[in-house]
Each structure stands twice: as structure tokens, then as C-alpha cells.
Structure 1
């Protein structure tokens, strides 16, 4: 048996743990005490859980181990990569005025300092630097929400992540303009990138956050990213995520939202392009009177696959949640949706709703959907539904009879289908920009390239 055969026989889980053992001193010495104190437990959890198995309950339609069998280099030490942000991000969408923070291959890209103190006491910058400068604050939240769930990929992220974006909004404060997080992947070799974002909204604060994911090199990058969001009592957050990556990329994205009493979080994920995308959303309604709106829209073609998984847990009474996710699939692509609403004992007067609708444009596409309810309280109002279908022939006939050409009629019906998700974006200028991008994507005029949808510089 050759060494090459032996290497191929090693499971991805074993290769990852062996790599950590060999490089743990490098990771620990370059990180902070706040981040490091979780790594030992994360290592034990990952050894126990491993990577999610293909066909397992929560990963029925995505072979995660296969993604980690590829020859991606673990990117644990940042390299200096020079670029001009204005030279990279150019597009036809008018500028959106934001405070922006850039992650380059999972590490904060320093453009004038590692932490930026904005008006009204808001802080945006490097999670690593924040954990050194504000250890007590970061310790109160880091891994508190992601750590509630036994998930092998999250343990892997906690084990390796050294940096990410940190956003802090103090009590009764509001940033003077939206905050934009730009995730860039750019390198001459394929990378495995793992980073951690932490967003904290204190009591009665408000924020608008936009996240853009981009690959700027043709390499087959693999990302395993975790974002933890804390919404304090009475806080309000609008969170919009845009994914535009090339077909060789794979993105595993985990978002954890923890809501205190009377908080409101509106989160939307728009997947324009991506080879393989898995979006995990975990919401815990921990305080009475909270409200959560979660929505998503994906468009796939050319063999792409998008898998959305949601878990919304009602742990307190008098809370409401709404979920609506949609997919438009074309040209040998596939998708999956698995959504679960869990109502815990004592979470009376819960009002929860979930809907998943999907549009198959050709016979060679495939969509799997599994809406689920788990209810352990008796005074609740919960419902769910799912549909998989094609364009309405009667509506198409009506438009054609009014002199509208086939392609334009087809586009109008697709855009009307997508618009319910777009209407969930409360900021009108942002909604208009995203609608323009969806328009271009449906017309196949938008390519997965280095044109940032939200030009902010």
C-alpha cells in the first residue's frame, strides 16, 4: 500500500484533528485567552461528533465529508495580500452609504485600525482585537449561543477560528448609517477558511447590518463560518446577507440568534450564486414578547446546490416568529429546505408560521423540502406549509395574450414569485438595490465575479 493510498484512506475528521494537534501551538499563541479557552472543549466535541454524516437527519441532501476530502489548505495564519478596494469593487448599482468592515480569507483586513469607534459608542472591527481589548464583554457572549447546540461543524469552527468581525451597539444607541461586512476570499491556492463573527445589540439599541460574501479568485474555496447575534431586551436588528460566489466554491454558514424580551430581529439571506451553499439558522426566543422574521431566497442553475436549514425555538411565552423561504431552480440544479419550529413547555401564546415555496423551471431540477413542528405547549398558534411547482400556465397565457413575449412573461412571473422575500427587507434603498440584482440574476445578466452588489467605498 502506497503512502498516497494511506492518505486517501484517512477520514476527513481524522485529518482535521491531526492538523490541529500539529498546529495548536501556532493557533493558541497568535490568538487570545477569550477565544482559546473554548478550544479544548471544541476539540473533544468534534472528536465525538465529527463532520455531519451524509443522509443523517439534518444533512440528508448534502455530503459534507466529501467537501473536506478536497485538497484545501487550512488557512490559520494570514498572509499579506495587497489590493485596492476601489479597484476590486465596481458595479452598476448606485453606492450605498455604510460603515464597512472587510474580512480577507477569514481575517480582519486592517484599513486604518483593527477596531473602529463609530458615533454613538458603536464599535466595529476585528473580533480578535476586541477579545483582547474588551475581554469581559466578549466573554459574556462568545460561544454562548453557538455552544448551545451540538454541531460538529460549529465545534470545528470554534477549534480553528482566530478572527472575524465584531460589532457592538451599546444601550439605547443606533449607528448613524448601516454597517456592512464584506467577506472576501482571494488566493492563488484553494483554502479552507474558518472565521467567527460576533454581533451584540444591548438593551433598546437598533442596527442595520448588511453582509456580502464574495470569491475573487477561481480557486475552489471552502468556508465554514459562524455568526453569533445577541439581541438585548427591546433591541431591533435588520440583518441582510448576500451570497455571490462562483461555482467552484462551497460555503457552510451558521447563524445563531439569541433574543431577549421584546426584541425584534428581521434576517434575510439572498443567494445569488454559489457552487454549494448550506445556510444554518438557529433562533432562540429566550425572552417574553420577542419577534423574529426570517426569510431567504435562492436562485440556482448549472448544477449548483443550496441547502437551507432553520431551527426556531420558542422558549418564552407571547413570542411570534415568521419564516418564509423560496427557491428558483434551473438547469440541473438542486435545493433543500428543512425547517423546524420548536415550542417549549411554558411558551404559551406562541404564534409561529413557516412557509417554503419553490419554483422548478426545468424537469432536470430537484428540490426537497421538510417543514416540521414540535409543540410542547397547548395554547399556541402554529402552522407550516411547503410547495414545489412550476410557472403558472394560466398566468403565462394571460401575459402572452396581452402581447408580452415568452421570455419577458417568464421573467415577470419569476420576479413576482421572488418579490415576497424582497419585500421583507425594510430599508427601501437596500431593497431596491437587491431587487435590481435579483432582476439581473433572473435574466442571467449577473455573474459570480468581483462586482460587489453593495458598493460601499
Structure 2
């Protein structure tokens, strides 16, 4: 057995041993709904273990180097000495939202009570809702994630105890966004697991903004899984902003199930972090469903960002659009794998995918792999990917009109990113992301600047 296989086996066995040793702690700190999923999920994880380069879906990202480190595993809620409502300052101050704090994967005990929620809307701790109102989630929890072959998703299901939950009843227009602040806060390296569930009933509307931040500079790892169910004719926006310390590592897996005539907008913006892997699976399971997914990442130093998308067209007359862009500097590495699968029954499908990347140095590296799997014969599908440097003709054009080289480069990069930013349907968020992107391109701020 090669040394690589030995190391991979040792890393995977470490989590199996931890699970066996802490099984009672996991059960005691959670709910029967989550506990019933653990054993079968752990067996799934053990069949594959931590995926390495030979795993086709992870061929561009070595997870062993972050999962193999030594961490304190957060398996119980830990009280925080300070009030994080006062410590944390949102990077989007003009955004009017219902704000929820999660700390190391757990619902923060001192969250401020949400007021003026529409009738029937439930927002809170996944663990607590599973205990108090299991009927709200028992038909949804793990229904999509369980279909995944990803061992990291199975590991999440085995260890998950808490996270964010939101339920919007049918015919309810929940217009004010819910902002979920995911904070990593510790004085040593930590591993945390978070599970989120969002349910939007038929003909409802909802917006959720996930913001990932770090309040410490230690190595940390987050395994995060989110399931989103979009009912018939429902409209749901889910945004994710990743602005963490360079020692923060995360695997974020999001699963979306779309009903008939539903509309989904999902976007992820990666500003800072260490190794970040974003998995996105969208199942268009109702006719005339529409999904728009976009992402952009700005990397430098030795940062590594990998976006993996899997759009599954399962019914006829559906449409999906993907747009992902990356700007890579210094020795950073980016990856994009975009998969579109059109089932035999999914006639009249429109599916489009585009990935554009700019390398600012000769040492930056980008891997891109667009994929089309089409089993139907009456479809319109396309995909494309580009990797290049700044357009020198455009740069010369701007300089010839009296704009300095530095400012000209900034203008071109902002224009490159703005095509993605304009997809955001929440105006204050869109304006603020534009500002954050400009500051990021200037090299400002290693992590959230507004925290005490």
C-alpha cells in the first residue's frame, strides 16, 4: 500500500474512531430526527473516506491536508464570554434584515428575538425546532443530502447537531431577508459541523443571506450542509458571502429541490479564506422551474477555492443559467466543475453555463471542467470556459485616454466582476458587494474589518 493510501486511510479512520467514541455525546446534544440518520451516514463515509485526487469530483482539491490536521471538535454548545451581538459588526450596514448568529456551527444562545415575522414563519435553531416541532421538518430533513455520494456530506450527517432552520408557509411573502452570520470563534484550532434546512411552501417568497466570518486566526475547518426546498411557484434567493481568515477552511454543500414553476437564485461570493470548496446541487423536479446560479472568487497568496455545481434537469420545460468568474493572484489556485444533466423526460430544456477566469500572475493556476450529459433530444444547452490574462488592448485603450495603469487595471477587473454582481436581486446587498469586491481587488482587508 502506497504512503498516500496509508495517509488517506489514517485520516478517515480518525473520524470513524471519533464517531464511535462520541456517539452518546452526539445523541444527547441533538434530537431524534438527527440521531436516526447517523449510523447509516457514517457507514457511507467509511466506504469512501476522505476523497483524494483519484475521486473524480475532487480531483482538483486535496481535502486530506485540511481534514488531516488536529482540531478540537465542537460536539457541544460552548458559551461565549462576550455578547457577539455587540462584537460583530456587519460588513453590509445598510442591509435591513432579520439577523441570526451561529457560532462554530451552533445557534447562538443570546440571539436577539426576531420580531414582526409573518404569520406562520419559523426561524431558529435546527436542533430546537427538531425537538419542539418535528412535524415541520421530518419530511424534508436529509431528503436531498441522502441522495449524494459525497462522503463529506455523509460525514456532516453523522456529526450534525445544530444549525439554522427556516420555514415559510404557502402563500406567505417573506420579503425582509434573513441574514445568517456564521462565526468561527475559538482560541485554538477547531472543527465544526453545521446543518441548515430551509423550506419555502407553495407560492411563497423568501430571501436568505449566509455570511461566513472568522473571529480568530487559528486553523479551523467547517463542514456545512444546507438543504433548500422550493415549493410550487415559490421564489427563493439564497446568497453566500465568504469573508474569512486565511487559515479558515470550509466545505459547503448546498442542495436545492425545485417544484413546478418555482424560481431560484443562488449566488456565492468568496472574498477571503484558506481552502474553500463549494458544492451546489440543483434538482429541477417540477415543470417550468427556473434556476439561476452564479459565483465569483478573488484569491491571492496560497488560497484555494473550488466551486462544483451539478444541475439536474428532471422535468420538461425548465431553464437553468450558470455564471462563475474567478480572479486569481500570486500563487492561488482555483477550480470550477460545472455539470448539467438533462434526463430523458426533460424535453424543452434550456440550460446554459459559463466560466470565465483571469490570472493576474504566471504562478496562479485555474482548473475548469464544464460537463454536459444530455439524455433528451429536444433541448438547448451550452457551456463554455475561458482562462486568460487582462485584455492588453483594453488596457492600452484606457491608458491612451489618460488613465493610469493601476486605475485602468482596476476598472477592467471591476467590469469583469460586475456582470456577476448585477445578478443579485437585493439592492443594498448588490451595492455593498460591489464595494467589497473593489476593496478586495485593491488587496485591502484580510478578514472582516468591522468586528471589535
The TM tier, using the shorter chain, reads over 0.9
TM-fit CA distance, 1:10: 6.4
Q: 2:365 maps to which residue?
A: 366
Matches within 5 A, 1:219-234: 219-234=218-233
Q: How many Å apart are 1:95 and its aligned residue?
A: 2.6
* Alignment check: 8 A CA contact 1:115 1:125 kept: no
Is the CA contact (8 Å cut-off) linking 2:175 and 2:206 kept in structure 1?
Answer: no
Q: Deviations over 1:300-353 (max 9, x none)?
A: 001111000000000000000000100000011110000000001110000000
For residues 235 and 9 of structure 1, do their structure 2 counterparts lie closer, same or farther at Cα, with a shift above 3 Å needed?
closer
CA distance in 2, matches of 1:259, 1:92: 31
Mark the CA change 1:354 to 1:345 in structure 2 (over 3 Å): closer, same or farther: same
SS class of match (1:139): coil
Gaps of 5+ in 2: 1-5
SS of the aligned residue for 1:367 comes to strand
Counterpart in the other structure of 1:107: 106
Evaluate the alpha carbon distance shift between residue 106 and residue 93 of structure 1 in structure 2; reply closer, same or farther with a 3 A threshold: closer
Range moving further from structure 2, 184-193 or 61-70:
61-70
Alignment partner, residue 415 of structure 1? 414
- When normalised by structure 1's length, the TM-score is 0.95
Q: 1:88 and 1:113 mapped to 2: Cα distance?
A: 14
- Per-residue deviation, 1:439: 1.0
- Which whole-Å CA distance do the structure 1 matches of 2:97 and 2:81 have between them? 23
Report the Cα distance in structure 2 between the residues aligned to 1:86 and 1:314, rounded to whole angstroms.
Answer: 42
Task: Determine the structure 1 residue equivalent to 2:206.
Answer: 207
- For 1:71 and 1:450, locate their aligned partners in 2 and report how far apart those are by CA, in whole Å: 28
- TM-fit CA distance, 1:44: 1.4
The verdict on how the C-alpha distance between 1:96 and 1:410 changes in structure 2, with shifts beyond 3 A counting, is same
Aligned to 2:301: 302
Residue 116 of structure 1 and its aligned partner are, at CA, apart by 7.5
Question: Closer, same or farther in 2 for the Cα pair 1:92/1:308, shift >3 Å?
Answer: closer
Q: What's the counterpart of residue 4 of structure 1?
A: none
Runs of 4+ residues deviating >6 angstroms: 7-10, 113-117
Contact 1:313 1:341 in 2 (8 A): yes
SS in 2 for 1:140: coil
SS of equivalent to 2:138: helix
Give SS of 1:26's match.
helix
Specify the alignment match of 1:139 in structure 2. 138
| Cα distance in 2 for residues equivalent to 1:189 and 1:262 | 47
Q: How does 1:62-211 map to 2 (within 5 A)?
A: 62-90=61-89, 93-111=92-110, 118-211=117-210
Distance 1:228 1:255 in 2: 6
Cα deviations by residue, 1:150-195 (Å, 9 ceiling, x for unpaired): 1100000000010000011111112251100000000011111111
Question: What secondary structure sits across from 2:398 in the alignment?
Answer: helix
CA drift at 1:115: 8.5
Distance in 1 of aligned mates of 2:225 and 2:264: 18
Question: Is 2:428 the counterpart of 1:426?
Answer: no
Rounded Cα–Cα distance in structure 1 between residues aligned with 2:39 and 2:90: 44
Q: Classify the secondary structure of the residue corresponding to 1:132.
A: helix
Over 3 Å counting, the alpha-carbon distance change for 1:112 and 1:368 in structure 2 is closer
| C-alpha spacing 1:112/1:189, structure 2 compared with 1 (3 Å) | closer
More deviation, 78-87/419-428: 78-87
Gaps of 5+ in 1: 1-6
Residue aligning to 1:394: 393
Residues 406, 288 of structure 1: CA spacing in aligned structure 2 closer, same or farther, 3 A cutoff? Answer: same
Partners of 1:61 and 1:92 in 2: CA distance: 31
Mean Cα deviation higher: 150-159 or 441-450: 441-450
- Go from structure 1 to structure 2 and tell me whether the alpha carbon gap of 1:93 and 1:141 turns closer, same or farther (over 3 Å shift): closer
1:339-378 to structure 2, matched below 5 A, reads: 339-378=338-377
Q: CA RMSD in A?
A: 1.8
Using the TM superposition, give the Cα deviation of residue 110 of structure 1 relative to its aligned residue in structure 2, in angstroms: 2.1
Deviations 1:45-75 (A, max 9, x none): 1111211122420111111122111011211
CA distance in 1, matches of 2:7, 2:54: 22
C-alpha distance in structure 2 between counterparts of 1:360 and 1:267, whole Å: 25
- Asked if the contact 1:119/1:176 (under 8 Å) is kept, the reply is no
Residue-pair matches, total: 447
Residue 318 of structure 2 corresponds to 319
Distance 1:395 1:10, change over 3 A: closer
Q: Is the 8 A contact 1:120 1:174 kept in 2?
A: no
Question: Partner residue of 1:45?
Answer: 44
- Judge conservation of contact 1:122–1:169 (CA < 8 Å) in 2: yes
**Counterpart of 2:58 in 1: which secondary structure?**
coil
Q: Secondary structure at the match of 2:139?
A: helix
Superposition pairs of residues 240-279 of structure 1, within 5 angstroms: 240-279=239-278
Rate the CA distance shift 1:444–1:112 in 2: closer, same or farther, 3 A. Answer: closer
Which secondary structure does the structure 2 equivalent of 1:78 belong to? coil
Q: How far did 1:208 drift?
A: 1.4
Judged with a 3 Å threshold, the aligned counterparts in structure 2 of structure 1 residues 240 and 9 are, in CA distance, closer, same or farther, namely closer
Rate the CA distance shift 1:260–1:415 in 2: closer, same or farther, 3 A. Answer: same
The two structures have a TM-score, normalised by structure 2, of 0.96
